[in-house]
Amino acid sequence: MSLSASSVRRLAALVVLATVAAIGLAACDQNKSYSHKGGPVDGWPVWGHSSEGQRYSANTQIAPDNVKDLKVAWTYRTGDLSAKGEVKNLAFEATPILANDTLYLCSPRNRIIALDPASGQQKWMRDLKPDTNGATVIVCRGVSYWKDSTQPANAFCAQRIFAGTIDGKMWALDANSGKPCPDFGDQGVVNLQADLGYVEKPGLYGVSSAPTVVGDKVITGSKIIDFHNVDMPGGVVRALDARTGKMVWAFTAAPPSVRANPTISGVQPVNDVQDAKTADAAKAGDDSADAAGPSAQQPYPRSAPNVWAPMSVDLKNRLIYLPTGTPQIDAVLGKGDWDYYGSSVVALNVDSGEVVWHYQFVHKDIWDYDTPAQPLLFDYKAPDGQTIPALAQATKMGYIFVLNRLTGQPIFPVKEMPVSTAGLQKGLSPTQPIPTLPEHQITITKMTDKDMFGFALIDKWDCQRRFNKLKNDGIFTPFYGESSVDYPVSVGGMDWGGLSFDPKRNILVVNSNNVLGAHHLAPHAGPDGYSPLIGTPYRQVYDNMMSMFGAPCNAPPWGKLAGIDITTGKKIWEVPLGTTRDEAPWPLWFHLGVPNQGGSITTASGLTFIAATTDRYFRAFSTETGKELWRVSLPAAGQSMPMTYRLDSNGKQYVVVAAGGHSALHNKQGDYVIAYALP
């Protein structure tokens, strides 16, 4: 059929009109705007959103159907990087809090920053200038806010920001100006190292996580460098008076045999702390007490487990939950019962500091499988309709333990699994606790050469060849004089990023790693690049189990994100988390799931936000299905936990993430804080 000239002209006109209309619709879509009125208004007042650490926001303005339209609302830079653009051992893991109509956060090098939450403009910045000598990772995950109920709100230091530093100081700053509060400690600062005895370098003992504020108490643990020396400062947890900085109570995770000594007991009144001397530690059986010097104050048992990760609080039942570290004195030596409270969760009475119960996740931990994440408190809805106050704990082994948070008894069954006790250590446990549910992120208990991977036959063959030379007793393989399997490596499984929970949908969200490593023990004479284990016959050497192309030798996914129905403990979805983009050259950009460091948050609208990956993407997933709904490239990787807030019922919902990378992951570093909102 032929067309007349007039028909052709009419058809051409219609095509032009359709094209103009399509361009107009595209322009409208690009400039789409939303009404920001109505809906829930929720902030982010503490590090994990609430004292329970659920990391769940009631905000619904950003939803699965519009999250794709998120745009950058503002960007702030902390100034932490040098002119060369990188700082050795730096990790930007901070999550801001919203209080006093202000965002407060810390940079890795302890610059405490106050921002306008709507514009990102700096209100004030206080550089605490810590001494980082000795720190293996320079990091600060957050700060805390306190309001003095006895003072007018506008009075100086009636509202305070508490910030711990990498060199072991606790600062109280006026929330409105950033100036130190002179009535707290010594002109605004309490030196947490002052009564510890000998500390070799300032950066070996510090604070990396936000302190926990309960009533008028500021409760803090400490970061202690693992496997450096069997004689390290005691890992004490202290409750300080928020007004004066004076100690209310102190808990040390020393074993019962040491806690029985009244001068260095686990819970110490102020007078006991002032009177205790180095000799007390010697009487308790500490072989290295003399290292502190005859005049050094040493009220706490040396090398007891520390608490470096964030804590959580059951305010109703007055319980605070401590995720504990690895006892230095037990590493390699397997000495005595020093691991009694190690690699556990310990429940204390928050008012007195007395132990209520504790549960251990790793016996005689020599693998650095300490408890790395904030315990998550929630109400467990049992299949029979019963509701149980519960605690979910992420672990580096890739297991999640679910306990009754009032008693410490497991809600899901836990089995003691036989493990190897061979190797060079003495006194290892013949069994380790393994929960049957929730379903594990790490499912392989003993790798074989069939679990090795390669982009090509040659790198797979090389990985298999090297794997077959390793001593391999499965998970919890002891250390040998020759290279042995280290799986999962000590970044997990799960690390400090922990868990988030959607109580509306009863879904627990977890990100995890799945990476093979190797290590061995060697005599002390040797090159750097190891855990020195001073005070033992050995040093720990990390052996390379990366392929010739720079990928882990074991098969992907090397990082995963999963949603778990917490009533049944069954996974309802699981997806690879992250791509090889930004870390591998094109065309080796694959959605394989990559190593990650950081955490997720959930919202009432059904979204899970997470960065964390070694690629530089910030993502949003459907909490119900695990489908990726949005992603945006960051200027540096987001090794942090995001947060979200609305300021009022007419305002926007913002999602904020710190993007600075992690020097240990060898990805791009930065000093960015970025907020996203709907246009």
* DSSP codes joined into one string, 336-349: TTTTTTTTEEEEEE
Q: Kindly tell me the burial class for residue 5, based on how many C-beta atoms sit within 10 Å of its own C-beta (0-12, 13-18, 19 or more).
A: exposed
Which of 130, 40, 140 has its CA nearest to residue 639? Answer: 140
DSSP assigned state of 529: S
Q: What does the H/E/C string look like for 202-224?
A: HHHEECCCCCEEECCEEEECCEE
Tokens for 601?
């948050």
Residues β-bridged to residue 180: 173
Tokens for 486?
């280290």
Tokens for 216?
């008028």
User: Are the C-beta atoms of 518 and 543 separated by less than 8 Å?
Assistant: yes
User: Are the C-beta atoms of 347 and 317 separated by less than 8 Å?
Assistant: no
Interatomic CA distance for residues 73 and 62, integer angstroms: 14
Q: Kindly tell me the burial class for residue 161, based on how many C-beta atoms sit within 10 Å of its own C-beta (0-12, 13-18, 19 or more).
A: buried
Tokens for 238?
């202290």
User: Are the C-beta atoms of 459 and 549 separated by less than 8 Å?
Assistant: yes
Interatomic CA distance for residues 520 and 214, integer angstroms: 43
3-state secondary structure of 558: coil
First to last CA, the chain: 50
3-state secondary structure of 462: helix
- E strand segments, 324-420: 344-349, 355-360, 376-381, 387-394, 400-404, 414-418
DSSP assigned state of 150: T
User: Are the C-beta atoms of 306 and 288 separated by less than 8 Å?
Assistant: no
Selected catalytic residue, list 368, 370, 495, 502: 368
Which of 395, 387, 391 has its CA nearest to residue 407? Answer: 391
Interatomic CA distance for residues 369 and 493, integer angstroms: 10
615 is catalytic: no
* DSSP codes joined into one string, 206-274: E--S--EEETTEEEE--EE-TTSBSS----EEEEEETTT--EEEEEE---HHHHTSGGG-SB--HHHHH
User: Are the C-beta atoms of 417 and 399 separated by less than 8 Å?
Assistant: no
Interatomic CA distance for residues 88 and 423, integer angstroms: 34
Interatomic CA distance for residues 605 and 65, integer angstroms: 10
Residue 585 Cα distances to 442, 550, 613, 614, angstroms? 29, 11, 17, 14
Catalytic center residues: 368
